[in-house]
Amino acid sequence: MNSKYSEAKKIVEKYGQQHLLNFYDKLTEDKKEKLLDQILSIDFEQVKKLYDNIQNHTEKKDNIIEPIEYLDKSKIDIKEKNYLDDIGKEIIKEGKLAAVTMAGGQGTRLGFNGPKGTYDIGLSSKKSLFELLCDSLKEANQKYNVTIPWYIMTSEENNADTENFFKSKNYFGYPKENIIFFKQGKFPMIDTNGKILLNEEGLIKEAADGHGGVYIAMLKNKVIEDMKKRGIDWIFIGGIDNVLVKMVDPTLIGLAIDKNVSAAGKSVVKAYPEEKVGVFCNKNGRPSVIEYTEMPKDMSTQKDNNGELKFGESHILCNLFNLKSIEKISENILPYHPAFKKANYLNNDGKIVEASEPNAYKFEAFLFDAFEELDDMAILRVKREEEFAPVKNSDAKGVDCPKTARELYENYQNNK
Ligand code: UTP
């Protein structure tokens, strides 16, 4: 056996993960190499810590949670709106804005077999989510006489399909050199006993590391470097699954610059206190997003002097950062959150187990966990019907599904 094998063997023995090499002899030479590389690159200490945390339900420290200040876009007086827009428009026209679309998710809830961005929500144009987003960038390019670089984050699972889709559609007529794909990181999945799973091929089962993986992926894939070369100062980061996402918004840029902050986020008013969304807040004096699962009931119903929810600014994954703040964030590792999911795997008898119920943990970083590293953040409240049409579930669920997104999109287009 080679020295790489001996090294890998030592590691798996140290961490009680010997089963990972059970089927080594049966693998092809290529796969043997791949498995050893996987073992040598995984941070087993971190995997162990994450599993221990799940077991011990580590106590959360007492945080001081306070409402966050925001500006309501629909209520800004026209003079101030023009002032902010002029600042933002200047940045866009000078070619200092880039857009990042995070499209590495699994789209499990939608139940579509393929990258979510290739999904057609049923518009008469039959356009995919990718094309709808591309349309909005093309419109902005024309308006401001620039070409905004569009960075698309994919994952190991969907990168090839995504790139092939763009090729087959001739990049929707967008200048090809301004569409840049980059892959997010991955993390091994573990079972309820903390054992790392093997996939159907006998390799380590890995899953995308969550949308919070975007910062480190931008660093590792030299996206930050590329942006510097292109003279980019501001970056909009959003998801692929909001049909009404406004990636190019001068008001948001103007607000961040005017407030002298390194990041800004958009919010929509929480529909009702129990709505399952995270909301912007200040946590221990820093901007943050509190998940609905962490929010005590009395807090979720509290109202301010205007009769509005005190914690009512829903986070919609529409955020703007300056390049320096992304550089800073990308140097630190964000916390990983466990998610209990269904995962097919190869068991110790060499049989493939098809999961019908959640049976394993995957670990995800959340984009908004990085907000606490920022001193301050500007929040712009926008109208749900103008900027938020998520595609999360299948139509059978009836909410945040292709049907609701299609209706919102059509209404918006008709009233524009
Ligand atoms: P979500 O977590 O809401 O949805 O991602 P999802 O992963 O697409 O679908 P489910 O949860 O499996 O049903 C919100 C946005 O973040 C991106 C998604 O592609 C989507 O645009 N995302 C999520 C990533 O890019 N990578 C991830 O690891 C997770």
Q: Where are the domains positioned within the chain? A: 42-415
**Index of the ligand 1 atom closest to the CA of residue 102:** 25
Q: DSSP secondary structure string, 51-72?
A: HHHHHHTPPPP---EE----EE
pLDDT at 58: 55
The answer, yes or no, to whether any atom of ligand 1 lies below 6 A from the CB of 239, is yes
The answer, yes or no, to whether residue 259 has pLDDT greater than 70, is: yes
Give dist(CA 408, CA 267) in Å, integer.
17
pTM reported for the whole predicted model: 0.94
The answer, yes or no, to whether any atom of ligand 1 lies below 6 A from the CB of 116, is yes
Q: DSSP secondary structure string, 283-297?
A: ETTEEEEE-GGGS-H
Question: What values do phi and psi take at 395, rounded to 5?
Answer: -60, -30
Question: What values do phi and psi take at 182, rounded to 5?
Answer: -145, 150
Strands (E) in 135-191, as ranges, are 150-154, 179-183, 186-188, 190-191
pLDDT at 294: 82
CATH architecture of the domain 42-415 equals: Alpha-Beta Complex (3.90)
**Index of the ligand 1 atom closest to the CA of residue 184:** 26
Give dist(CA 377, CA 322) in Å, integer.
11
Mean pLDDT of 10-30: 97
What is the distance in A from the centroid of ligand 1 to the CA of 347? Answer: 28
The answer, yes or no, to whether residue 59 has pLDDT greater than 80, is: no
β-pairing, 179-183 with 150-154? Answer: parallel
For 322, the 3-state DSSP assignment is strand
From the number of C-beta atoms within 10 Å of its C-beta (0-12, 13-18, 19+), residue 172 rates as: middle
pLDDT category at 332 given cuts 50, 70, 90 is: confident
Instruction: Name which residue sits closest to atom 18 of ligand 1, judged by CA.
Output: 105
The answer, yes or no, to whether any atom of ligand 1 lies below 6 A from the CB of 104, is yes
What is the distance in A from the centroid of ligand 1 to the CA of 107? Answer: 6
Question: Of 237, 190, 386, 234, which Cα lies nearest the Cα of 324?
Answer: 234
Q: Please, what's the largest Cα pairwise distance for the chain?
A: 74
Which of 102, 153, 161, 243 is the pocket-test mutation for ligand 1 (most atoms within 8 Å of CB)?
102
pLDDT at 2: 85
The answer, yes or no, to whether any atom of ligand 1 lies below 6 A from the CB of 184, is yes
For 251, the 3-state DSSP assignment is helix
Position with higher pLDDT, 341 vs 203? 203
* Residue 181 CA from chain centroid, whole number: 15
Q: DSSP secondary structure string, 107-136?
A: -TTTT-SS-GGG-B---TT--BHHHHHHHH
What is the distance in A from the centroid of ligand 1 to the CA of 139? Answer: 26
pLDDT category at 60 given cuts 50, 70, 90 is: low
The answer, yes or no, to whether any atom of ligand 1 lies below 6 A from the CB of 208, is yes
Are the C-beta atoms of 211 and 367 separated by less than 8 Å? yes
The answer, yes or no, to whether residue 383 has pLDDT greater than 60, is: yes
Whole-Å CA distances, 365 to 185, 255, 333? 10, 27, 9
The answer, yes or no, to whether any atom of ligand 1 lies below 6 A from the CB of 240, is yes
Which of 101, 108, 211 is the pocket-test mutation for ligand 1 (most atoms within 8 Å of CB)?
211
Instruction: Name which residue sits closest to atom 3 of ligand 1, judged by CA.
Output: 392
β-pairing, 378-381 with 71-72? Answer: parallel
**Index of the ligand 1 atom closest to the CA of residue 207:** 28
